[in-house]
Amino acid sequence: MAGGAYIESGRRQYEGKVTAFVLITCFVAAMGGLLFGYDLGITGGVTSMEPFLVKFFPVVYQQMLDDSSTNQYCKFDNQLLTLFTSSLYLAALIASFFAATTSRLFGRKPSMFLGGLFFLLGALLNGFAINVEMLIIGRIFLGFGVGYCNQSVPIYLSEMAPAKIRGALNIGFQMMITIGILGANLINYATSKHQNGWRVSLGVGAVPAVLLCVGSLFLEETPNSLIERGQHVKAKTMLQKIRGTNNVDEEYQDLVDASEAASKVENPWKNITRRKYRPQLTFCSFIPFFQQLTGINVIMFYAPVLFTILGFGNDASLMSAVITGGVNVLATLVSVFCVDKFGRRLLFLEGGAQMLVSQIVVGIMIGMKFGLNGEGSFNKGEADILLLFICLYVAAFAWSWGPLGWLVPSEICSLEVRPAGQAINVAINMFFTFGIAQIFLSLLCHFKFGLFFFFAAWVLVMTIFIAFLLPETKNVPVEEMNYVWKSHWFWNKYMPECEDLVAGAYNNSEATLSN
């Protein structure tokens, strides 16, 4: 038992404690992030290994050797190579819609188990691949795993966690993503000198998959899901267990009321398009869209390739990817400790400003050194400065758009539209991850250093979007989130008039919490 707190909302004051059971449960569930993170980190390293390129992409390898045939910007421009990376995200997009139905009908646990199982099959296929077709099929299974996990895990964490620490526990998902990325970078560095090192790198993805499969068997289902499927007695018992108190009547009744309202919804996909859910639909659509246009996945899954292009050398490029992965983990810790204290908006805005400056500096440095013809290289001092600003960019993302891109969409939707909202979030995230992964190397070849200014411009747009349209959601129970929209200067016009009195109660509660 880690401590006690009252969980306040606009109408209720829920009694509850932060129990060891909740912390352990959320830790196990958050391991779903390891799958996504490991793949993000492993892919770029593998595609920079010569034995892998020789076996599956000999054209790219020959292009690397023939320095006279291309400039540095276009060194890895090959659509089949990028399809190896991006096919996963297209599969994840498709799987997210099936995962939403699975999560709603059978619970969050089965979705997490299926995610781990799909990822396990994909890792084994990739580790034992003998041709490109087998690689792509393996990537598709990996994508099914990522789609199921990214849809179910954030919802599970938001529903299990007390409102006071929901942000920190939900960011456990992003923390596991960053740990997966760092672990993958270290494995790539260790295996890069071996002829079949790429098989080890790809095959080790089975380890986090097995951990999630086994762990999900021992997890308890969330009270929200149990109520949604008619298991009311078990739901109340579970709520008492995760809150560490028998006095859960008020919170339990709010969950039941929310479930009854949700049960009247025949089609959650159609329902989320209704006017009263316009804020949820907007943020579940635009946050994942903007998250990918920060350009972060360019750094994460193409880091070794990018550093090689910039003249770091093979070993140095892999080590630089390890460094950025380490920064990613440490900076995510900042978000864990700050998100429920300072709120979501502050982290979004500071992170956006820092990413903007960092990308502009990186673009200027690359432009001055490589110009438009792509010919040039960095000396050691210049390379260190470039790496510093890339790390500052990664750190800013890791305590802002990285974790909050998963946290905010998972916490703002009421129960009747939650699976649909999270599925939209994952689908859009995966669609644009697929798109950027597929075209990045071509964009780099054609946009050259201007590509970093392209992403910087989008960071400016998304920061303005957050500044004007996102209300603060810290300390607000997920079932009370509608009152936040009602009290917002822009979104209140989309809320039913009958909620006016409740919005006033929320405003008073918010003032109390901030004191």
**Count of C-beta atoms within a 10 Å radius of residue 353:** 15
Distance CA 309, CA 323 (A): 17
Checking if the pLDDT of 8 tops 70, the result is no
pTM, whole model, 2 decimals?
A: 0.76
Per-residue pLDDT tens for 404-413?
Answer: 998 899 888 8
What the chain holds in terms of domains, given with CATH numbers, is 20-219+265-475 (1.20.1250.20)
Tokens of 80: 């089949």
Residue 398 and residue 249 in contact, taking contact as beta carbons nearer than 8 Å: no
Checking if the pLDDT of 511 tops 70, the result is no
Banded pLDDT at 7 (limits 50, 70, 90) = very low
Banded pLDDT at 234 (limits 50, 70, 90) = very high
> What pLDDT score does 448 carry?
76
Per-residue pLDDT tens for 392-429?
Answer: 999 999 999 988 998 899 888 877 788 788 889 988 98
Residues ≥6 apart with Cβ < 8 Å to 425: 284, 285, 287, 288, 406, 409, 410
Per-residue pLDDT tens for 136-184?
Answer: 899 999 999 999 998 888 888 888 888 778 888 888 888 898 899 889 8
Distance CA 308, CA 316 (A): 8
Banded pLDDT at 122 (limits 50, 70, 90) = very high
Checking if the pLDDT of 360 tops 90, the result is yes
Distance CA 282, CA 388 (A): 35
Residue 377 and residue 311 in contact, taking contact as beta carbons nearer than 8 Å: yes
Sign of CA dihedral 289, 295, 296, 301: positive
Give the pLDDT mean for 41-58.
84
Checking if the pLDDT of 3 tops 50, the result is no
Distance CA 108, CA 92 (A): 17
Checking if the pLDDT of 343 tops 80, the result is yes
Share of the chain above pLDDT 90, in %: 27
Tokens of 371: 């110009």
> What pLDDT score does 16 carry?
65
Q: Provide the mean pLDDT of the chain.
A: 82
Per-residue pLDDT tens for 313-335?
Answer: 666 666 777 788 888 899 999 99
Checking if the pLDDT of 451 tops 50, the result is yes
Distance CA 234, CA 221 (A): 10
Checking if the pLDDT of 458 tops 70, the result is yes
Banded pLDDT at 59 (limits 50, 70, 90) = confident
Per-residue pLDDT tens for 469-493?
Answer: 999 988 887 777 888 898 899 999 8
Cα dihedral 430→431→434→439 (10° resolution):
-150
**Count of C-beta atoms within a 10 Å radius of residue 16:** 22
Highest mean pLDDT of the ranges 43-47, 54-58, 346-350 = 346-350
Distance CA 422, CA 156 (A): 11
Checking if the pLDDT of 514 tops 50, the result is no
> What pLDDT score does 513 carry?
44
Closest CA to 429 of 461, 401, 454, 457: 401
